[in-house]
Structure 1
Amino acid sequence: MNSNERVRAGRHYVTGEWTQLAWNPDGRIERVVPGHGDGETWIAPGLIDLQINGGYGHDFNSLPLTVDTVIQATRRLWEKGITLYYPTVITNGDEEIEQLLRVIDAACREDELVGSTIGGIHLEGPFISPEEGPKGAHDSRYIKAPDWELFMRWQAASENRIRIVTLSPEWPEAAGFIQACAEAGIVVSIGHTAATPEQIREAVNAGATMSTHLGNGAHLMLPRHPNYIWEQLAQDGLWAGMIADGNHLPDSVIKVILRAKLSKALLVSDAVYLSGMPPGEYETHIGGNVVLTPAGRLHLARKPELLAGSAMMLVDAVCRLAESELCSFADAWEMASTFPAQAMGQADRYGLKRGAQADFVLVEKRKGELRILETVKGGCSVYRMDR
C-alpha cells in the first residue's frame, strides 16, 4: 500500500477483527469500518507517554540542550509508536530549568510535526520532598517549596507549554499552588512525596488528579498504615502512573494497582536518555557511573541494588505487561494511549474513532516483542519500517 494513501487496515487492537481506517486531508479520522485481510498486522491508537526524560542518547535535562536534540529524539520516538509525549524536565537550578524550557519550546516552533507530537512539558520538581527516599535521584540543592511566581516565570519561558507538574503536597504552600494550577488547566500529579494522608486528601480536594510513578520515589520502609501509597490508591479521583519495566515495581504491586484503579491506571516509561542504547557502563549527570544490563536494568555501578532510572520505552512496557498476563494486550495498550489522553482531558481527540486525530500505529505482535511497522501522526506517515 502506498504510504501516502489515506487508508490503512489491520486487526483492531481490542476486538481482533480486521478493520479499515480512513482519514481526511485535515488529519482527522473519517471512518473506522470492518475490513478484510489476513496476517498479524494490528491497528491501534498512537502511544502517549506522559513522563519521559529522553532516549537513544538524547537527554532533555542535559545542558546545553539543543533544538536538534529535541527534534531527533522525537523522530526516534515515532519509531516506537509514540504520537504524543510530554518531555520531562526535572529538578534543577532556576536558570537551568528556564533554559531547558526555552529550547523545548523553540523545537516545537522549528518543526511543526515535532510541535504537534509534544503535547506539553512535564515539570517534575523542584517542588518535591527533600527527604531521602522520596526525593529519589533529584538534587537536594534545588528542591524547594511551591512558588507560583517562579512557576509563572517558567511558564512564560515555555510559552505556556507546561501541562503537568509533579509536586509533593507536604509543603504548607502546596494546596494554594495546586488550586492555582488546576484553575489554569495544568494537571497536578502527586509524586516524590512524604506527605501525610491528610495532605494527600487536601491536595486532591485542591485539584490534584494524578500520581507520578506510584510506588517509586518513596521511602524504603513505610508504616503498614496509614501511608501515602495506600492513600493515593484509595483516592478515586487520582490517575495512577506506573513504570512497568519489571524493575521498578514487582508484578504483585502492579496487580494491586490495577485492581484498585480499574480504568484509571496509566503506563509511563519514565525513560532516561540511555533507553534504546546498547548494554554497557555509562557516565550520567545524575547518578554518576551506571550500568545498563543486557536485560535492560539500569543501576548504579557502585551499588547494583539501586536503580538509576528506567531504560525501557513505552511500547516495550506494554508488551511486558501483556506478556505477564496481569491484563490483556488491549488493556495494556489503552493504559499507554487512550487513558493518558483521558487523564489530560483530551479523550475526544484521541482513539480509533470518527472525528479523532489520525494518530495511530500499525504494529506486529510477536511473542515477547511488539514491532512498530508504521506510525501515523495527524494523518502524516512519520515512520515506516523498512521491510
Structure 2
Amino acid sequence: MTSEVLEGRTASGRGVRVRYSAAGIEEVTDHPSAPDLLLIPGLVDLQLNGYGGLDVNDPSANELPALVRALWAQGVTTVYPTIISADDATTTTLVKTAAAARASDPVVRYGVPGLHLEGPYISSVEGARGAHDPAVIRDPDADEFDRWQAAADGAIAIMTVAPERTGAVNFTRHLAANGVLPSVGHSLATAADVHAFAAAGGRMSTHLGNGLPALIDRHHNPIWAQLTEDRLTAGLIADGHHLPGDTFAALVRAKGAERCVLTSDAAALAGCAPGDYQTAVGGEVTVTPDGGLRLTGTPYLAGSGASLLDCLRWATNHLPLDVAVTMATTTPAELLGLHDRGRLEPGARADLLQFARTADGGLGDLVTVVVDGRAVRKP
C-alpha cells in the first residue's frame, strides 16, 4: 500500500509531517521547518440540508452522491445529511433514497456515516418552528420512527425533537436506547423539560440560539437551561446570520468550547448567486447579497447560505484558530462516536486538509483535500 506525505502546521502551530495511506494516518512527526501551510483534519458537519443547488430534501431526486463530492471542495469530508419535517410518505422516500445511495456507492457510505432527522416532532409555534411546514409537525411516534429507521437501513443517527411535546421524554429514551443521538431544537421547552430530556438520554442542542421566536422571556426561555446542562453539546451555526458575533462568542464561553460544535445548517441554495428562488421544499427563498437565506418577504431564515468551511472562517474572527478547528472536527466526530476521524494522529482515518495562510496568518485558500487516504484536490 503506497504511502503519501503532507506537511504543514497544525492549528496550534506545531510543524508536522503526516504520512498516510488508504489504511489511515500512519505517522505524525515533528517538522520544525514545515511550510507555512495549515494542516487540519477534514471537517465534520452534523447538520446540512444541501449545497450548491443539491437538496437532500427533494423526494424526486437522488442528489446525495453529487452532494458528498461537491462538499470536498469545501473541506467537508464527513456529513450527516439533514432531512426536515415532512409527512410519513415523504420522509420514508427520503431515507430510503439515502440508504440506497449509501449501499451502492462506497464514497457516500464513507462520507455519510448517518442521517439527521430535524423534525417533524418539533414545536409548531410560529418562530420556533422556523421554516418547517406546520401542517406536518406532530407529537413523537416511536412506531413511525422505527419504520423510518428500518427504511433507512439503520442510518438515522441524530433526531431533533422538542422536549415539551406530548410523549417526547419517553421517545427520547427510545432513541437513546436504540443508539440514536437525541437533540433538542425548534423548541419552547421549559428548564424542567430540558433537564428531563437530558436525563432521558438527550445529548445535543440543535442550532442553539435559533429556532426561537424573535421575542422570548429574558429569564424563562430554552437557552439558559441548555447552556447549563452539561449533558448537552451545543450545535452553533457560525454563518454570521444566525448568531451575531458577540452572541456566538458568549454562547461558547458560557457552554465551554469543549461542549460546542460548529454546524452549517446549509440549505440547497448555499453557494448560489443572490436572487429569488423557488425550492422543492422551502417554497420561495431569497438569497441575499450578503449570503443569507430567507423565506421570501419574511424575516425568517431558511437555513444557512454557508458551508462549514465558511462557518469556520467566520468563527476564527471570534475564537482562537485551534479552538474553532476542534469545534468543526474532533468534537463533532467524538460526539457521534467516530473516534477515528477528526484528528491528526496515527490510526485515524486520513481525512486531511491543507490551507494557505492569509497575510495576517489566518485561514487562506484550500489547497489540498484528502478523503479516506485519497487526494481529491491537489495544488
CA drift of 1:29 comes to 1.4
Q: In the alignment, is the contact (CA less than 8 A) between 1:191 and 1:217 conserved in 2?
A: yes
Query: Aligned AA for 2:206?
Result: T
Using a 3 Å threshold, how does the CA distance of structure 1 residues 38 and 99 change in structure 2: closer, same or farther?
same
3-state DSSP class of the match of 1:335?
helix
Residue 73 of structure 1 is matched in structure 2 by: 67
- Kindly provide the CA deviation profile for residues 42-61 of structure 1, in whole angstroms up to 9, marking residues without a partner as x: 11011000000000110000
- Kindly provide the CA deviation profile for residues 24-51 of structure 1, in whole angstroms up to 9, marking residues without a partner as x: 442x211111125454321101100000
3-state DSSP class of the match of 2:136?
coil
CA drift of 1:147 comes to 0.7
Residue 275 of structure 1 is matched in structure 2 by: 270
Cα separation, 2, equivalents of 1:20 and 1:220: 49
Give the alignment's TM-score, normalised by structure 1. 0.93
Cα separation, 1, equivalents of 2:21 and 2:294: 47
Query: Aligned AA for 1:103?
Result: T
- Kindly provide the CA deviation profile for residues 138-163 of structure 1, in whole angstroms up to 9, marking residues without a partner as x: 11111111111110100000000000
Q: In the alignment, is the contact (CA less than 8 A) between 1:316 and 1:369 conserved in 2?
A: no
Using a 3 Å threshold, how does the CA distance of structure 1 residues 43 and 100 change in structure 2: closer, same or farther?
same
Residue 9 of structure 1 is matched in structure 2 by: 7
Residue 91 of structure 1 is matched in structure 2 by: 85
Q: In the alignment, is the contact (CA less than 8 A) between 2:122 and 2:160 conserved in 1?
A: yes
CA drift of 1:345 comes to 2.5
Q: Which of 37, 40, 47 is the equivalent residue of 1:44?
A: 40
Q: In the alignment, is the contact (CA less than 8 A) between 1:70 and 1:104 conserved in 2?
A: yes
Q: Which of 256, 260, 265 is the equivalent residue of 1:265?
A: 260
Percent pairwise identity:
38
Q: In the alignment, is the contact (CA less than 8 A) between 2:22 and 2:350 conserved in 1?
A: no
Q: Does 1:204 align with 2:202?
A: no
Using a 3 Å threshold, how does the CA distance of structure 1 residues 377 and 186 change in structure 2: closer, same or farther?
same
Cα separation, 2, equivalents of 1:172 and 1:197: 16
Q: Which of 290, 310, 320 is the equivalent residue of 2:314?
A: 320
Q: In the alignment, is the contact (CA less than 8 A) between 1:197 and 1:228 conserved in 2?
A: yes
Query: Aligned AA for 1:18?
Result: G
- Kindly provide the CA deviation profile for residues 199-226 of structure 1, in whole angstroms up to 9, marking residues without a partner as x: 1111000000000001111121111212
Cα separation, 2, equivalents of 1:153 and 1:288: 28
Residue 288 of structure 1 is matched in structure 2 by: 283
Cα RMSD of the aligned pairs, angstroms, is: 1.6
Matches within 5 A, 1:322-361: 322=316, 324=317, 326-361=318-353
Give the alignment's TM-score, normalised by structure 2. 0.95
3-state DSSP class of the match of 2:328?
coil
CA drift of 1:375 comes to 1.6
- Kindly provide the CA deviation profile for residues 224-276 of structure 1, in whole angstroms up to 9, marking residues without a partner as x: 21211111111111100011111111112111111112111110000001111
Cα separation, 2, equivalents of 1:298 and 1:145: 28
Matches within 5 A, 1:225-304: 225-262=219-256, 263-303=258-298
Cα separation, 1, equivalents of 2:357 and 2:231: 34
Deviates more, 1:293-302 or 1:128-137: 293-302
Matches within 5 A, 1:132-143: 132-143=126-137
Query: Aligned AA for 1:346?
Result: L
Cα separation, 1, equivalents of 2:141 and 2:15: 52
Query: Aligned AA for 2:303?
Result: G
Cα separation, 2, equivalents of 1:192 and 1:299: 17
Deviates more, 1:310-319 or 1:30-39: 30-39
3-state DSSP class of the match of 1:246?
coil
Q: In the alignment, is the contact (CA less than 8 A) between 1:240 and 1:261 conserved in 2?
A: yes
Matches within 5 A, 1:97-116: 97-116=91-110
Using a 3 Å threshold, how does the CA distance of structure 1 residues 297 and 102 change in structure 2: closer, same or farther?
same
- Kindly provide the CA deviation profile for residues 71-122 of structure 1, in whole angstroms up to 9, marking residues without a partner as x: 1111110111111100000101101001011111111122102210002000
